[in-house]
Chain A
Amino acid sequence: MDPESGMGERVRHIILQHGRLPTDIQALEDHADLYQAGMTSHASVNLMLALEAEFDIEFPDAMLKRSVFQSVASITDALERLQVSAA
């Protein structure tokens, strides 16, 4: 598995557990809007906390924005900027 898809899978798994989406996360494209798919702002904070725990990172305030948590792709991108490796 290449490292990027590995990260994407881990992110999807955390969204499945904490995003409380009414739809099936595996059916969503990487760029699909999670908020439109039914993620509430409450669930998005739970997701941020779970991502911090899973990847042992802290999102700086500048990253704690709606746009950063909008899709699997934008989350993966943010994690890469924080130099998280998928290993």
Chain B
Amino acid sequence: MSVAIDVDAGFLNGIRKIADEFAAVNADDVDRKARFPVEALDALRADGALSALIPTELGGGGISFEAVAAACFELGRRCGSSAMVYAMHQIQIACMTRHLADAPWFEAYLRDVARDQRLIASVTSEVGTGGDLGRSNAAVTPSRDGNATFEKQAPTVSYGLYADDLFTTLRRTPDAEPGDQVIVLTHKDQMTLEQTGTWDPLGMRGTSSPGFVVRAEFSTDQVLPTPFPIVAGESMVPVSHLLWSHLWLGIATDAFDRARAFVRASAKQRPDQVPPTAQRLSHLMSELSLLRAEVNSALRDFTEASATPDRERLSTMASILRFNNLKIAASEQAPRVCQGAMAIGGIVGYKNDTPFSVGRHLRDTMSAPLMIANERIHERNALLLLIAKDV
């Protein structure tokens, strides 16, 4: 137990150092140029952080999920885009490590990830189905030699051009229904990516997420044996919501810290008076603590539910509702905190080139409600509420 805690602590020290020395110093340039945060990702690779979640038996770091969530928070405090890239990669890793049963190809693959620090991007959304994770158009299509192919029209693939591998949702066969999905891991040298658009968004600019037509030819071993709906319910959805929320909390925390630095600077100029902004800072602290409480309690709930036999609790409706609520609450609260920080700093918060700037924070967190549209999640919740008993 204490060994595991030491390993986690050592990992997090390394992450904080990378966040300060590589993510923070490049964050504005990454944002301005909408470029991939190559410095932070190189440093994370050099540190072995891309395989943190992989068990030590497979050559990985054996780091706890809680520590990886904390890493997303720490990176988020310094560069939202670097944190998002790291979080998305870990989501893919979690989907594999949690569903390895009868998947020898994937065990060998995770060893490769650990050895070579391969970076994995995800292709779940699709032209035509939008953010509906539970339906695909593109299908695994048998080809000659017992191999398979697919072609998927992907509207948004973060760091698609920088990833070593893609994790793609597809219909099981060309005849399968849209909800009969599997997930497939393919390597760069098995694919062509035809870019279909540009990436010049409001925030999360460093995620480098244009659209692509992805074409691949691969061995059928590269299809994860567990059906995708189970992977999604027990892992991809809750893990995404948790890791995203942690980094949104990180961004909001840094916005709060910048507003606090601004209030302290004004207090030092007139030590005999409490600046009027101090009271607004107190209001903002309440908003931030609500966000932190939701994120922290969701992590505890997930850890407990993951430990139930067969992760039984994670497949209940109460659990689906719980992690959907986390996503909705955190994605709405994080930009609210950033906006509050901007109101405190006034013009120096609004300008992009002061120590109190929070424009990037606000823009980055504004992507949160639409990364899987909240209205889509509300629609699903509304349906589940008709039948769920304990919520």
Contacts and interface: CB of A to CB of B under 8 A. Distances in A.
A62 B312 CA distance: 8
Which of the four size classes fits the interface of chain A?
20 to 34
A45 B134 contact: no
Interface in A27-81: 35-42, 45, 48-49, 52, 58-62, 64-67
Given A62-B316, A66-B229, A66-B233, A22 B177 contact: yes
B181 to A, nearest CB: 10
Contact of A45 (B177, B315, B386): B386
B180 A61 contact: no
A66 B387 contact: no
Contacts of B383: 42, 45
Interface in B291-348: 312, 315-318
Given A61-B316, A65-B316, A66-B315, A35 B179 contact: yes
B384 interface: yes
A45 B179 contact: no
A8 B45 CA distance: 56
B189 interface: no
A71 B184 CA distance: 26
Contacts of B177: 22, 36-38
A5 to B, nearest CB: 27
B388 interface: yes
Given A35-B180, A45-B383, A45-B386, A61 B229 contact: no
A14 to B, nearest CB: 14
The majority secondary structure among interface residues of chain A is loop
A64 B317 CA distance: 7
Contacts of A67: 315
B274 interface: no
B388 A64 contact: yes
Given A35-B179, A36-B177, A66-B230, A61 B389 contact: yes
Nearest to B233: A66
A42 B388 CA distance: 13
A65 B384 CA distance: 11
A37 B384 CA distance: 22
Contacts of B145: none
B179 A41 contact: yes
B176 interface: yes
A45 B233 contact: no
Given A45-B387, A64-B387, A38 B315 contact: no
B390 interface: yes
B235 to A, nearest CB: 14
Contacts of A62: 312, 316
Nearest to A68: B315
Interface string B356-390: 00000000000000000000000000011011111
B233 A49 contact: no
Interface in B226-241: 229-230, 233
Given A45-B387, A60-B389, A61-B316, A36 B180 contact: yes
A31 B297 CA distance: 39
B42 to A, nearest CB: 41
A48 B387 contact: yes
A35 B318 contact: no
Contacts of A36: 172, 176-177, 180
Interface in B213-272: 229-230, 233
B388 A61 contact: yes
Nearest to A40: B179
Interface of B: 134-135, 172, 176-180, 229-230, 233, 312, 315-318, 383-384, 386-390
17 contacts: A22-B177, A36-B177, A37-B177, A38-B177, A38-B179, A39-B179, A40-B134, A41-B134, A42-B383, A45-B383, A48-B387, A49-B386, A58-B389, A61-B388, A61-B390, A64-B388, A64-B389
Given A45-B383, A61-B389, 17 more contacts: A36-B176, A36-B177, A36-B180, A38-B180, A41-B179, A45-B386, A45-B387, A49-B386, A49-B387, A52-B387, A59-B387, A64-B316, A64-B387, A64-B388, A64-B389, A65-B316, A66-B315
